[in-house]
Structure 1
């Protein structure tokens, strides 16, 4: 019994070294593992992860991605340095690569990789080139076939674009996991936007800076660069990154920009700020010359056009609009109910709609370099495209309009531009108390000309008021006349079309006054030898039909029915020479018993005509006989003439 404890003690002594060695071995393994981690942690910055990341990015984006170099520097802030990054474009793109990054460096707080959102700082980059475009079949290259990437939705190829017209219709990407970026410095980069029609708009980014204190502080964002070669500076204050991560809430921003003498501001929100889409807010724009603005738009101006505009701006998908706007264009005040652009789908032109009202519009100031000082030289080219882009549907109005030497009031125009045709649905204005309503079209013709056709109705034309405005001497007829007219011409400019037009018109009066001397002179009433008539006789009806070509024509027939007799006449005229030749006589059954009813001729310049007895010649009889024919009138003019009481006396 005395030997048993020794045996137990020996066994325990044998087990103790084994336990010790097991513990030492475990500690050694852990030490080796820890040393391996430390060595790996210390040497990881020398490993190029570029090819591996390129393969992973290719699988995730569904687009070829190559990364020439990617180094990782461990620490509390994990630093990544990338170089030679290329992201391939989509099939049908204008260039092989959508993104080309020369150098990009970023630091990420290590702990935020485990529980996001990530916190990023010291983002620097240079020689970064981005091409954003729609292919000719309107596929956007900025949509990826993403897989396992938060915030990206898989694109659906060949899906037609929806007609989006308001920011709340824009479906934003998921921004809930978007990182907080404390500071950014970018240099020598650019972003090019290419439309489906092949137009390019290049934004050169000389310097980009972004700064914020933390995720809950406002973000300062500045850009110094150029757009289409025109220098541009942007200064924006954005909502915090915490607000950016609220995907279904519009993201607020205030953006101020300047390009030369052009300045603008935008104060509003975006439902999809990462794609600069779903924009809605107040916008202001001002420029004393418009040259920077036109350079950005790719247009040229022959003269300075000062502009100030403000209103509500909207950009949603293919839709751009300014509403509730007001402004001044070259001293012409305006109100913008709507000015919108819908970018065309595949193979289709853009569509522009406008509803703009002016207070006073001086058209002369926009036509030619010397339009204001030489208004009589103002003209407008009739240029009609067989394939216009954009299509236009416009409504314009003005309380007052100055064009050439004329001053109109209460003007309104409703017009459209479609392939090969400019249509005027309605044109109305007032001039010297008279009102004009017209409709017509301008169609493309050969040799750069345009075919102009129109219907015009004039009402309440005061003869004496127009006579004084045109510089004519007093005429013996007083009252208001109405007119229905059709006109057509094939010319290159508006003034040439007016001067060379073929015109058919009917002029009517239902009440007025005619100097009694005209009736008695026309009837050759011998009682005038003893008693000179005084005053005027009432006109119960007047009807005249006018036709002309290139300002040369005739008034045939003409008839005036008065209390003292009925007068028939016809006339020839030349508006270019300001000359006319009028023959008139009375109907024997309507005049007094002393009337000889001998035709009278009034001939000469508008300002100084002469009056004499007309020769009773075969030509004169033939001209008077033609006053019985109205069958050749256009339908609209004839219907207008038929409503006049004098028509029944003329019609066969």
Structure 2
């Protein structure tokens, strides 16, 4: 960097020497005789070939000048083009009268169509890094003796600056239609017009004197404002040139009416930012030896806010981001709106989107993040509160350990790993939600205010894939939902689909709500198919046992539910029901197998739901436990095969249903639980609560 400044100064000094000599002996001056010397001195200092390819001409007057048509500086051998810098025309004028006082002043410096390429190679090296030969070191050591001229005016016309990274594909382009720097006090005023990534911009502000910048010493101040049609950026600070590397310290303010406006400015070909706004940023940004440090960071994005500290380390092979952030409100609705509106990304008939996840970010960068959020807006009417997140990404592997939040008066705890190194990427998650108020969820979503109840949710799952749909279709592990007492308003039940409404109608008291005593749904997941291990629910009029599966890959459901009436007069209505079809639009109706086969489908279930129904009614040992959980444990102790006749099976259940439910739900001592299979550990955890 400093050698480049010295080269520019040396070229100007040599040209000035030519001008002085030419002014004294104009008739005998041959500019071509100086071409080789200029090229050689530049190449010696730079370590790259410099060519003056065009004509050289001299103009005389009180401000003598030289014009050179064609200047080229060679690129590295791995560069994407032969030249790093080309200039179509180079013009310089000096103040002749100032030479009488021993001062060197450049009155005007003009660059016509400069084209500068800055690129990072496959090994992370920059083409602006020049080697240090012995001759170059000697030339660089003479910098202190080189007089840095005072430049009063600089004009650039039709200039282009390109920055690109061969490894990442990042490409940034600045086109300068016009740019001018004019002396203003101790510094320079700046004005520029052009485009960045094809987006027109204007810039104005002040800089320190160019002589200070080219001298490569001390503090170089800047105060700039850049505006586009949709954005504005202000930078005020200084470059610090006192060390080996140039650093900076600046206050940065930026705003735009939509984040989508920054998509083109990012230079990342696959990045598409959502249409969220307004967006603003304010921070102190310090360039360090290893990267950048952001302090006093304040970000606004739509209804979201973010504050804290962050660092960006670019000194290694992989970029690393470290951040400690807080937010009063984090609005995720704009990021999920597309999925919600289509129902599945590019396929509107899907529950799980098939849009690729941004795994490439994990492969390209490491991160350490802590985040605390007061309110997370998940949808228009549904929020989470008190979110706490700790995340760590290393070499393509992301760990969440943990993510905690309050959700509908419940407590959610999620630990997960996402490994983008695998092909396809692998996901592992452990989710625990305690006392989720599903009645509040329905009220918040403005679906119904006639539901009350809470559930516990437990999941331990692994999956693979590039998209949410692929991951869902490969899940393995276990899932359990356990519900305690609840209430469903009759008015709500009347609004359900015909099949479900007709199913429930015969089990409802005429003018009463449906009261739920308990419910358990436990599934084992295998290659994206949720196989029922236990399905059991109990109301004031009927108990339900069920079995079946949910195919997440095909997004289809096939469940059979057997009702058991608690009144003898209703037993003839206890016809098995089948719930089947697409997840988005399942049908509910009588089981085609008929009532005669009501018990056949339970063979092979991990827990016989009909035996569990019997245990639910004839036992009275579960006073302090969820009765459905205890009934499942009781059924497991009695065997898991086909329902048996007798006092503990379906026959006994039918005989004793009407008279023993009250005893089952309100009777004596606690029952035992089975700790046999790993699937049942979910139930054991529930009982331990």
Same fold flag (TM > 0.5): yes
- Which residue of structure 2 aligns with residue 326 of structure 1? 298
Please state if 1:314 is matched with 2:293.
no
For the residues of structure 1 that align with 2:340 and 2:620, how far apart are their CA atoms?
Answer: 56
1:457 aligns with 2:432: yes
Equivalent residue in structure 2 for 1:265, among 226, 234, 239? 234
8 Å CA contact retained: 2:313, 2:321: yes
Q: Check if 1:88 corresponds to 2:74.
A: yes
Q: Which residue matches 1:124?
A: 110
Alignment deviations for residues 436-455 of structure 1 (CA, whole Å, 9 cap, x no partner): 11111234599x96543211
C-alpha distance in structure 1 between counterparts of 2:234 and 2:205, whole Å = 9
- Check the 8 A contact 2:275/2:334 in 1, yes or no: no
State the Cα distance separating 1:498 from its structure 2 match: 6.6
Q: Which residue of 1 aligns with 2:191?
A: 222
Match of 2:616 among 585, 589, 594: 585
Partners of 2:651 and 2:373 in 1: how far apart? 48
C-alpha deviation, 1:128, in angstroms = 1.6
Partner of residue 63, structure 1: 48
Retained in 1: the 8 A contact 2:374–2:386? yes
Structure 1: distance between partners of 2:145 and 2:203: 24
Counterpart of 1:564 in structure 2 is none
Match of 1:180 among 139, 150, 154: 150
Alignment of 1:440-589 (within 5 A): 440-443=416-419, 451-461=426-436, 484-490=458-464, 493-494=467-468, 502=476, 504=478, 546-549=522-525, 550=529, 553-555=532-534, 572=547, 583=613, 584-585=615-616
Counterpart position of 1:407: 383
1:135, distance to aligned residue in structure 2 (A) = 3.0
- In 1: Cα distance, 2:286 partner to 2:161 partner: 22
| CA–CA distance in structure 2, aligned partners of residues 105 and 174 of structure 1 | 25
Q: Give the structure 1 partner of residue 120 of structure 2.
A: 134
Offset of residue 44 of structure 1: 2.2
Question: Which deviates the most, 301-310 or 186-195?
Answer: 301-310
Distance 1:263 1:632, change over 3 A: same
Flag the 1:619–1:206 CA change in 2: closer, same or farther, 3 A.
farther
Partner of 2:90: 104
Cross-structure match for 1:201: 172
Change in Cα spacing, 1:372 to 1:276, as seen in structure 2 (3 Å) is: farther
Structure 2 unaligned spans of 5+ = 1-20, 488-516, 551-556, 563-608, 624-629, 633-644, 654-663, 665-670
The alpha carbon displacement at 1:83 in A equals 2.2
Distance 1:152 1:441, change over 3 A: farther
CA distance in 1, matches of 2:231, 2:376: 27
Cα pair 2:183 2:189 within 8 Å, conserved: yes
Residue 619 of structure 1, CA deviation: 7.0
Give the CA RMSD over aligned residues: 5.1
Offset at 1:255? Answer: 0.9
1:384/1:201 Cα in 2 relative to 1: closer, same or farther (>3 Å)? closer
Equivalent pair of 2:370/2:391 in contact (CA under 8 Å): yes
Query: TM-score under structure 1 normalisation?
Result: 0.65
In 2, distance between residues paired with 1:134 and 1:635? 56
Q: Which residue of 2 aligns with 1:24?
A: none
- The question of whether the paired residues in 1 share the 8 Å contact of 2:365 and 2:395 is answered with no
Tell which deviates more after alignment, 393-402 or 379-388: 379-388
For 2:504, the equivalent position in structure 1 comes to none
The Cα of 1:189 is off from its aligned counterpart by 1.8
Cα distance in 1 between the residues matched to 2:258 and 2:328: 21
The 1:556/1:253 distance shift into structure 2, 3 A limit, reads: same
Say whether the 8 Å CA contact 1:430–1:436 is kept in structure 2.
yes
Q: Structure 1 pair 67/275, CA: closer, same or farther in 2 (3 Å)?
A: farther
Contact 1:55–1:66 under 8 Å retained in 2: no
1:504–1:545 contact (8 Å) kept in structure 2: no
Residues 1:431 and 1:126: Cα distance change in structure 2 (over 3 Å): same
For residue 277 of structure 1, report the CA deviation from its aligned partner. 5.0
- Supply the distance in 1 between the matched residues of 2:197 and 2:127 (Cα, whole angstroms): 21
Change (3 A) 1:267 1:468: closer
Pick aligned residue for 1:633 from 672, 678, 683: 678
Q: Distance in 2 between matches of 1:188 and 1:367?
A: 43
Contact 2:673 2:684 in 1 (8 A): no
Note the alpha carbon deviations across 1:78-132, whole angstroms, 9 max, x for none: 4232222222223322222222122111123457779877321121221222222
Mean CA deviation greater in 370-379 or 390-399: 370-379
Indicate how the Cα distance of structure 1 residues 619 and 493 shifts in structure 2: closer, same or farther if over 3 A, else same: farther
Change (3 A) 1:149 1:187: farther
Distance 1:231 1:366, change over 3 A: same
1:610 matched residue in structure 2: none
Cα distance in structure 2, aligned partners of 1:240 and 1:591: 85
Indicate if the aligned counterparts of 1:555 and 1:572 stay in contact, CA closer than 8 A: yes
Cα-to-partner distance string for 1:590-643 (whole Å, 9 max, x where unaligned): 499xxxxxx999xxxxxxxxxxxx996867899x9x996432226985884684
Q: Give the corresponding residue for 2:512.
A: none
Structure 2 partner of 1:31 = none
Q: Based on CA coordinates, which of the two structures has the bigger radius of gyration?
A: 1
Contact kept? 1:569, 1:627, Cα under 8 Å: no
**CA distance in 2: counterparts of 1:318 and 1:149, whole angstroms:** 26
